[in-house]
A and B are shown apart, each in its own frame.
Chain A
Amino acid sequence: MVKLVFIQPDGDSQTVEAEPGVTVMEAAKLNDIAGIEAECGGACACATCHVYVDADWVEKTGKPEAIEEDMLDFAFDVRPESRLSCQIKVTPALDGLTLRVPAKQF
């Protein structure tokens, strides 16, 4: 299992375990992480699973692909470390991945 750390806007943090192969969004939903809405269910079609990848992890998670970059246009307060969590696959290399949940999804 891979550990993922979600940090809420108020600083509260939750560590969850995810099976490699699922997406970060799925892991968040399975563990009822607040602020991850995922309205479209993971189709990269709504931008309501927006997260900020912690600076130490940006390189490991990689850059968004074009379709995700387009969809980030629909997110609020987009930053260089913004990703849609449905587009990040959990791998053993991401053990300890730290993500910040934005104050607001659209």
Chain B
Amino acid sequence: MALDEAAAVADTGATEFDAVVIGAGPVGLFAVFELGLVDIKTCVIDILDRPGGQCAELYPEKPIYDIPALPTVTGQELTDRLMEQIKPFGAEFIFSERVDELQRGEDGRFHLKTDAGREIIAKVVVIAAGGGSFTPKRPPLDGIEAYEGKSVFYAVRRMEDLRGKDVLIVGGGDSALDWTLNLAPIANSLTLLHRRDEFRGAPHSVEKMRALVAEGRVRLLIGQVTKLDGADGQLEAVTVKTAGGEERVTANAMLPFFGLTMKLGPVASWGLNLNENLILVDTEKFETSEKGIFAVGDINLYPGKLKLILSGFHEAALMAQAAYKIVHPDKKLLFQYTTSSSSLQKKLGVK
């Protein structure tokens, strides 16, 4: 088998792993640990550019009080500690990519594809995607959908596309400021619109932006967009509500930066049994309606489910036992404790 399979893999350029964990939040990270203890090599994929999930994105500095044995720990500390704990297992991390496709191949394994076109093959898939993937917030302006991807962009893929345009950047954080600084030299005109004359972004970026405003190369406008004008996806102008009334601002490209929100995203199209935005699982293996695909943490649902990190840890431990039977079908798993098992300690690198 090995040769044929290896050839097939080489053709598609896909990378193979025992398990893919979707989501690098605390539960996804702990899943790496539990899978590692039972000799399952994992790859973790997350749409954010760093581990931690909601802990890193929403409350890195906020204390969490209900992690067993840690009376208080911040989201960032918890993430750092989990990363340290799973280090011995050498998981592969893929950040800033979203898993878009998941289907079972003819060989029974799962074929995944990310939004960057990366292909991965795995024997088991563990969905630990929390509240879903973090996606840019869409301003709830009438008809904005029609402009998205054509003249309203939530990320800049190619700066050149904005050369010579009348660019409107909306927001007051680092993304808004950074793109103001980057695009001012190539845009025909650049307006930075923010609801107040105070910015959350890095102070040196704020200074640079103000310098550009003073030189007349950037227009800073204080107000909020209320209406979009254009046709066929091409923005022509926006109406802005300011302290002094209303103003029409000419713009043929708008970049709104209003932070991130969580959306279930492509998970909904993978053919799993869902209840609203949650994946139904059993409470023995935390397996979904598809054998070999598991769901742990906030994204799953079962009778009595509590959306707690500690519940996700428990789910990950039981999931790993079931995943073992799929990844190593011919082996018998001996239940062991890390305290006393020399083989587990060896895996953990205990000296």
Contacts and interface: CB of A to CB of B under 8 A. Distances in A.
B200 interface: yes
Nearest to A103: B140
B239 to A, nearest CB: 13
Contacts of B88: none
B295 to A, nearest CB: 20
A39 B259 CA distance: 13
Interface residues of B, number: 23
A78 B58 contact: no
Given A74-B259, A77-B224, A43 B58 contact: yes
A77 B173 CA distance: 17
B346 interface: no
B137 A106 contact: yes
A70 B226 CA distance: 20
B153 interface: no
A73 B224 contact: no
B194 A46 contact: no
Interface in B50-87: 54, 58-59, 62
Given A40-B59, A46-B261, A106-B261, A73 B140 contact: no
A73 B173 contact: yes
A48 B173 CA distance: 18
A43 B171 CA distance: 21
B301 to A, nearest CB: 17
Interface string A27-53: 000000000000110010111100000
A85 to B, nearest CB: 17
Contact of B140 (A40, A47, A70, A104): A104
16 contacts: A39-B131, A43-B58, A43-B59, A46-B58, A48-B261, A72-B195, A73-B194, A73-B196, A73-B200, A74-B258, A76-B139, A78-B195, A106-B139, A106-B140, A106-B258, A106-B261
